[in-house]
Amino acid sequence: MTASYLSFQSFVDTSHKYFAASWGGLHWERQIRASAAPRRSPSGSGMSVLVTGAAGFVGTHCSLALRKRGDGVVGVDNFNAYYDPSLKKARKSLLASHGVFVVEGDINDGRLLAKLFDVVPFTHVLHLAAQAGVRYAMENPASYVHSNIAGLVTLLEACKDADPQPAIVWASSSSVYGLNDKVPFSERDRTDQPASLYAATKKAGEEITHTYNHIYGLSITGLRFFTVYGPWGRPDMAYFSFTRNILQGKPITVYRGKDHVDLARDFTYIDDIVKGCLGSLDTARKSTGTGGKKRGPAPYRIFNLGNTSPVTVPTLVSILEKHLRVKAKKNVIEMPGNGDVPFTHANITLAREQLGYKPTTNLDAGLKKFVKWYLSYYGYTRGSSKNSRQ
């Protein structure tokens, strides 16, 4: 944590290249206000939500769901190149068609965040912007500190200074359970043995948000997502890359754990995750601070959002083969020491009790929807390995 703290200012100072003034002006402010205006009822009683990482996978789906039920939504995204930015731009266009405006900017840009809170008194923040991926942390560790720690602190600073202070719901990760071998994973279990830098930054985020809750009265809800998948998903995820390679006739790499045990994941369909996110926003009580000063205790919550039905990776592959109608060429190898864990399994009792969270989509049904979207988006025809986007 000390190293992360010391790195914070240097990351912000050296990142001005990300902060080109592509925002501001009267027209921009009008777009922000229009997008942020709730349309839920004649009295305008809906939320006004700032969604970070809005052009990301989960961010896009949550923004659409909020807008469709009448809440005001403004997005922020830096459209970085961790994976194909054209997919993020396509999501942005999808959001725009539903009246959601996405600002191109970085959450480390304190001036931008202050301006957004100055223009709109957001009632809630849904913080989904992050550097994702377990293995990429071995290639570019600095990006995880920049986004997941420095960016989080910059956002929390803007939230604690805002008047009114918003309630914050943010994405932690199931990866915080690390080397924990007690299953299913419960929010009460230890999370002090991370297996990857990504997990460590998410665990640090939980400690940082607790600090801001304690000192400044920010209402905080952290959500530990378990392997989210579905349409408009992330190309770096296994189910996505498996689909691409199977269709192109390329071999896929399937990892096995020690003693030839199949890896298993608690795959959770995007629509179920969205319900958990919106349920968290709906039940989040208000922050208690004003002018950066705490006026009383504020809620601090953490929930698992999973499916509770782990599925092995070979089973995932067989389901994809069925829906793609193509047989996969598999290379099965032992899992390298790259930060991945052999299994995940969520205990969702707390989310069920407090959020009314109830996942309804199994992996077979969810992958069927994903494959339908994938074939449509990338322009595949059945029985052909050619497409219009790859």
Going residue by residue through the chain (390 aa), what tens digit of pLDDT does each one get?
444 434 444 444 444 444 555 788 999 999 999 999 998 755 457 999 999 999 999 999 999 999 999 999 999 999 999 999 999 999 999 999 999 999 999 999 999 999 999 999 999 999 999 999 988 998 999 999 999 999 999 999 999 999 999 999 999 999 999 998 889 999 999 999 999 999 999 999 999 999 999 999 999 999 999 999 999 999 999 999 999 999 999 999 998 877 778 889 999 999 999 999 999 999 999 999 988 889 999 999 999 999 999 999 999 999 999 999 999 999 998 877 655 678 899 999 999 999 999 999 999 999 999 999 999 999 986 555 556 565
First and final CA of the chain: distance in angstroms? 41
* Contact present, 52 and 127 (Cβ < 8 Å): yes
- Which residue, chain included where needed, has tokens 């069920």? 352
Place of tokens 């052009």: 55
Beta pairing class for 289-290 and 252-256: unpaired
Number of other residues whose CB lies within 10 A of the CB of residue 163: 11
CA angle 248, 251, 256 (to 5 degrees): 140
What are the φ and ψ backbone dihedral angles of 254, each rounded to 5 degrees?
-110, 120
The whole-number pLDDT of residue 4 equals 40
Q: Which residues pair with 265 in a beta bridge?
A: 311
Q: What is the pLDDT of residue 386?
A: 55
Active-site residue, 374 included: no
**Longest C-alpha distance within the chain, in Å?**
63
Nearest Cα to 272, choosing from 209, 333, 361?
361
Residue 377, Cβ neighbours under 10 Å: how many?
15
CA angle 219, 224, 230 (to 5 degrees): 120
What is the CA angle 135-141-147, rounded to 5? 105
Pick left, alpha or beta for residue 61 (phi over 0 → left; psi -120 to 50 → alpha; otherwise beta).
alpha
Task: Provide the pLDDT for residue 19.
Answer: 54
- What secondary structure, in 3-state letters, does the chain show? CHHHHHHHHHHHHCCHHHHCCCCCCHHHHHHHHHHHCCCCCCCCCCCEEEEECCCCHHHHHHHHHHHHCCCEEEEEECCCCCCCHHHHHHHHHHHHHCCCEEEECCCCCHHHHHHHHHHCCCCEEEECCCCCCCHHHHCCHHHHHHHHHHHHHHHHHHHHHCCCCCEEEEECCHHHHCCCCCCCECCCCCCCCCCCHHHHHHHHHHHHHHHHHHHHCCCEEEEEECCEECCCCCCCCHHHHHHHHHHCCCCEEEEECHHHCECEECCEEHHHHHHHHHHHHHHCCCCCEECCEECCCCCEEEEEECCCCCEEHHHHHHHHHHHHCCCCCEEEEECCCCCCCCECCECCHHHHHHHCCCCCCCHHHHHHHHHHHHHHHCCCCCCCCCCCCC
Among the listed residues 144, 177, 198, 269, the single catalytic one is 198
Only one residue has tokens 């994809």, namely 320
CB atoms under 10 Å from CB of 10, counted, come to 11
What pLDDT, on the 0 to 100 scale, is given for residue 6?
40
